[in-house]
Structure 1
């Protein structure tokens, strides 16, 4: 079966079983026997890959595969060079030390959809965007990393896994498409 690329909306649970108060993947995808290759918490949005191939699922999500995952994080505050260096070099979060990663400040992405509901805005607190590419993905890792350097994450969107991205496969939240597993290893044309 091809790989399913899904743009997970904000507050949707990354499961097919029913949830007492939130939508789940079953509210959007009616394809039997597929499972997420990795997870996004309810507060995170964006790229999720699903497959019925257990080996492919393992290859995408297991930390030993070192499949790079890129996130856009809207943070409260403006990063300085020291904050960015700390994020790049790895941070001791108490229960683990993050591996080095790629981090850069970016302009607000013009192709990114508006979030529903919108993030809270404070007139006295500016926000900025960071692009972070990690080869690990522990629970709430990006949020914990940005908070550790004084930049709390307000919005988190996973935009790429390997060479597959929502920029090259534009989908609105809740939309999905089929792609070839080979696309994970092929650089996109964009």
Structure 2
């Protein structure tokens, strides 16, 4: 299994599952972290994830240019790459008023992921993202734009990946591929 997409609701266990799966693979392991700390709650969440990883991963922090971070990760020739997460990445692009760059960034990331999934058996890639399509229709235009953008990125990533897991209350449900 070369590429796994892990999706689910907020706090459903996506990152924990990705970490658990990544630790099965030997070092070197790369974590691409996309989160930015805009408030105390996010600072604490980032700190928690850093403590979980400890020194078991080479960490690349990149909130905007995910394609470049993915290329850097691939250049390290790791056994596993974890991208955590697309949810924060798309949000960062919107909040940085980089919405016009989203098609370019997403197409480049998808192209790299597609090439990677076709060319190598040596590196397992795990990609984490929230499932945002199960809730109510957001009340404001920016939130609706976010749901549409993230939903389209998630669909494209799921289409490329060999396996898709949906996390529900900490339990993985296999949507695509074998577990």
> TM-score scaled by structure 1?
0.29
> TM-score scaled by structure 2?
0.30
Larger fraction in helix: 2
Which structure has the larger Rg? 1
Give the structure, 1 or 2, with the largest relative contact order (CA under 8 Å, sep 6 or more).
Answer: 2
Larger fraction in strand: 1
